[in-house]
Amino acid sequence: MTTINAAQTLSTDLAAKAKRHLWGHFARHGTDIAPPIITRGEGVTIFDDRGKSYIDGLSGLFVVQVGHGREELAAAAARQAEQLSFFPLWSYATPPAIELAERIANYAPGDLNRVFFTTGGGEAVESAWKLAKQFFKLTGKPGKHKVISRSIAYHGTPQGALAITGIPAFKAPFEPLTPGGFRAPNTNFYRAPDAYAHDQEAFGRYCADRIAEAIEFEGPDTVAAVFLEPVQNAGGCFPPPPGYFQRVREICDQYDVLLVSDEVICAYGRIGSMFACDDFGYIPDIITSAKGLTSGYSPIGAMIASDRLFEPFNDGKTMFAHGYTFGGHPVSSAVALANLDIFEREGINTHVKANAPIFRATLEKLYDLPIVGDVRGEGFFYGIELVKDKATRETFNGEESEHLLRGFLTPALWEAGLYCRADDRGDPVIQLAPPLISGQKEFDEIYSILHSVLDEAGRRL
């Protein structure tokens, strides 16, 4: 049997096994649906089981910050596994978890010096809400348990995190959810009310003040926290208007409500700094993070809390009765430390800050296409909103969006060699978040593929 035939046989065999046994995440299944099988990654490129290459325009899932195929990260995992493969943090500690906690705390702003490890972002969000509830119970405000978040925002899939998520369609199959989640407007300036359509700062104040309004409506003595992403993911990368987070910080201080910066996507260089709250000039009470901490080479998440929030637990007897078997796993912690070494050695954050304007300028050339209504984002995190009519900003209805995104764009972009996300949790968008090592060459390749495919989509419509 030739090498080519052997590879084809293996590919067919894998596809059959996947079809019979693998239950994909957020995936559709059916007789005619076969998921692409990804077998290898190198730098900003991924390869499927047939050897075809694609630009990884989404860093896996906003994860692979330093690129695929980093031997030093695999080696760090192997070294740690040989020395100590596992031990829990349940009243014990391991050297990698200790070192990583200190490293993260040193990157974090203000007095966010306490690091609680999880295995992913949804768990970090879940942990933050539980901490907020217990903190207020311990400090004499037991009624404070509710959470304010933004419409369309995605904060994770566990029952608590799902209650914070602001996407009704994602929540409906699992109701009734954990009670206590309430919504405020997001910061989509492209869809701002007419009164604010030409004034970003006024729009930001409007959106922030709706959070205060929600706290007042629910009762300040019942609201524990506000959960906000620095740049909101779902809906297509909504950056904060100028002054928005400063006003939100004022509101949270006024009502004694905790401000949680959900940076599961935005942390570790995606916007430019280690933590995106630094990019936008605010200090939260809690940061939730995951994804880019190891560049995806091993799963880990982290909730970073202020000294003030830890203080009630520091009396020798009070327990935060919460944890995960694999939280702060020693192998994952060792990989995270090696990943952060790469950040510092190669100046990843500096690279992102220097190249972010170039990425923006390259994507903005797509404005010459009638189907492109808005190009928005920050750092290496962008959304391109698609419209039926650029002049009126008319969007697509549900059936049209389904046909556009899943019927045409997703397979066409993949066939053209670009992995990204066609998403309609809000209005239809294309999302891009390439590895943080990308530069003009990769930006140009992404633009070229997008322009060609979106031009064809527009002509089909």
**What is the bridge-based pairing of β-strands 429-432 and 421-423?**
antiparallel
Nearest to 313 by CA among 89, 137, 121: 137
Say how many Å lie between the first and final Cα of the chain, rounded.
46
Query: Which H/E stretch holds residue 340?
Result: helix 330-346
Q: For the segment 343-392, what is each residue's pLDDT rounded down to a tens digit? A: 999 999 999 999 999 999 999 999 999 999 999 999 999 999 999 999 99
- Radius of gyration for the chain, computed over Cα atoms and rounded to the nearest angstrom: 22
Query: Which H/E stretch holds residue 356?
Result: helix 348-364
Q: For the segment 209-238, what is each residue's pLDDT rounded down to a tens digit? A: 999 999 999 999 999 999 999 999 999 999
Q: What is the pLDDT of residue 11?
A: 76
Q: For the segment 15-67, what is each residue's pLDDT rounded down to a tens digit? A: 999 999 999 999 999 988 889 999 999 999 999 999 999 999 999 999 999 99
Q: Cβ–Cβ contacts within 10 Å for residue 356, how many? A: 19
Is a pLDDT exceeding 70 seen at residue 416? yes
Kindly state the tokens that stand for 448: 């070229």
Residues 16 and 13: their CA atoms lie apart, in Å, by 5
Residues 302 and 113: their CA atoms lie apart, in Å, by 12
- Band of pLDDT at residue 6, cut at 50, 70 and 90: low
Q: Which domains does the chain have, with CATH numbers?
A: 36-65+347-460 (3.90.1150.10), 72-346 (3.40.640.10)
Which percentage of the chain shows pLDDT scores above 90?
95
- Band of pLDDT at residue 2, cut at 50, 70 and 90: low
Residues 122 and 115: their CA atoms lie apart, in Å, by 16
Task: Determine contact, residues 329/298, Cβ cutoff 8 Å.
Answer: yes
DSSP string spanning 437-460?
Answer: T--HHHHHHHHHHHHHHHHHHHHH
Residues 381 and 359: their CA atoms lie apart, in Å, by 9
pTM for the model stands at 0.96
Name every residue whose Cβ is closer than 8 Å to that of residue 405 and which is 6 or more positions away in sequence.
422, 423, 424, 428
